[in-house]
Amino acid sequence: MKGNGSLSWRLSCYASAVAAVHLLASSCSPEAQPAQRSEKSEPTALAGEPQGVGKLVLAFGDSLYAGYGLAPNESFPAQLEQALRKSGVAVSVQNAGVSGDTTAAGLERLEFTLAGLPRVPDLAIVGLGGNDMLRGLDPAVTRRNLQSICGRLRERGIPVVLTGMLAPPNLGADYRRRFDAVFPDVAKQCGAALYPFFLQGVVTDSALMLPDRIHPNREGVQRVVRAIAPTIGAELAKAPSRQ
């Protein structure tokens, strides 16, 4: 991991790149709009059912989970499943990432997503909030939506790992302070495990990012998986199998 100055600079680049993407999307021709609506009409991108006996993990997030710009087997859920299995954990990680999702959109599709699973998952990994930040949405709204998502999962007895994001400096010190506090606060309130920054050690290295400077490439996802897999493994070890 490079110094804080480098991280702040990279986060600023990240925010600028995504702002450009949103601007481009808003100016697309009418012919492009049906494809966008079609993408959002599919609230999940679930992989196949679990193979054999083992734990079921729901990866519920945005494009960072969906695997934007990557082959299906290069996405975060797919690589996490591979890593956990190599470590001896019998597990299936279901990819429920949807590109562009805010916390509000995630909350809206949560029940539908859970209903589409083969059974109640043993663990849920939640990675939403980045698009809220990049659109400048009120962190109080992000907090409420994440609390509701985590709360509904916990009501079903599903343990949660929350993967956080950090706001870039160009959004201002006040916004940054309020947004960055959302994830540790929600994790504490909901009794969820916390991985503070999903792109830790990745966003600062251009070799680990796609050319859009927004999403990790295959090697970047590998770096994320190596860092977060111990947390996921520890939480799974505590969760009794539902099979």
pLDDT digits (tens, 9 = 90+) for 42-54: 444 444 444 455 9
Q: Exposed, middle or buried, 26 (CB in 10 Å: 0-12/13-18/19+)?
A: exposed
Average pLDDT, the chain: 85
pLDDT higher than threshold 50 for residue 217:
yes
Report residue 1's pLDDT band, with 50, 70 and 90 as the boundaries.
Answer: very low
**What confidence tens digit (pLDDT) does each residue in 89-110 have?**
999 999 999 999 999 999 999 9
* 8 A C-beta contact, residue 123 and residue 159: yes
- The CA angle 31-32-37, to the nearest 5 degrees, is 115
Q: Can you give the pLDDT at residue 21?
A: 38
CA 80 to chain centre: 13
* 8 A C-beta contact, residue 36 and residue 232: no
For residue 24, which phi and psi values (nearest 5 degrees)? Answer: -65, -45
CATH tag, 4-238: 3.40.50.1110
Q: List the catalytic residues.
A: 63, 212, 215
pLDDT higher than threshold 70 for residue 144:
yes
Q: Can you give the pLDDT at residue 242?
A: 73
Q: Which of residues 32 and 101 earns the better pLDDT score?
A: 101
Q: Exposed, middle or buried, 161 (CB in 10 Å: 0-12/13-18/19+)?
A: buried
Domain range annotation of the chain: 4-238
Percent with pLDDT over 70 in the chain: 77
